[in-house]
Amino acid sequence: MTKEQIKDTILKIIAQIIPDEDLSNLKGDIPIREQVDLDSMDFLDIIMELRKRYGIEVPEDDYIHLATLDSSAAYLEPRMREL
């Protein structure tokens, strides 16, 4: 996957978790949780979904890298490149 595809994947996961939120104007460089109503349980759902769909394990210490869409793509790209 390219970084753009990774961002798209994350957006699809988020859309599934919070279906009532409008994600069309989400900015890549601003923390996701500042833009939409995404609580800590929702965030955990993203982590679980990444494991379930792609077998990717994000350790707790690295959660901070998933704050924005851009930083998520940068963090996940080395591990999702081959997918």
Partner 1 sequence: MRHDRLKDTRSEYDVIVIGGGLAGLTCANMLARGGHSVLLLEQHYNLGGLATWFKRKGHIFDIALHGFPVGMIKTCRKYWSPEIANMIVQLKGIRFDNPQFSFTTTYDREDFTHILEQRFKIPRENIEGFFDTARNMNFYDDQGMTTREFFEKFFPGRDDVHRMLMESITYANGSTLDDTAITYGIVFSNFMSKGVYTVRGGTDQFIGKMREELLKNGVDIQTKCLVEKILIKDRKVAGVIAKSGGKCHYHIKSKAVVSNGNLLSTIHKLVGDENFSESFVTEAKRVRLNNSSCQVYIGIKKGEKIDYIGDLLFTSEAEKFDPQELCSKNTTSRTFSIYYPQTRPGSDMYTIVASSNANYDDWANLSEGEYRASKEDLIQRTLDALEKYVPKIRDKIDYLEAATPKTFQRYTLHLSGAAFGTKFEGLKVSMGLPKEIPGLFHTGSVGIIMSGWLGAANYGVIVAHNVDKFLSAGVRNV
Q: Which residues bind partner 1 (CB under 8 A)?
A: 17, 39-41, 44-45, 47-48, 51-52, 55, 57
Give SS3 for 19: coil
Say if residues 11 and 23 touch (Cβ distance below 8 Å).
yes
Question: Least distance to partner 1 from the beta carbon of 77, Å?
Answer: 21
Q: Which is nearer to partner 1, 20 or 29 (CB)?
A: 20
Q: Which is nearer to partner 1, 3 or 65 (CB)?
A: 65
Say if residues 21 and 37 touch (Cβ distance below 8 Å).
yes
Question: Least distance to partner 1 from the beta carbon of 75, Å?
Answer: 18
Nearest one of 56, 48, 46, 59 to 82, comparing CA atoms: 56
Q: Which is nearer to partner 1, 42 or 77 (CB)?
A: 42
User: How far is residue 56 CA from its own chain's centroid?
Assistant: 12
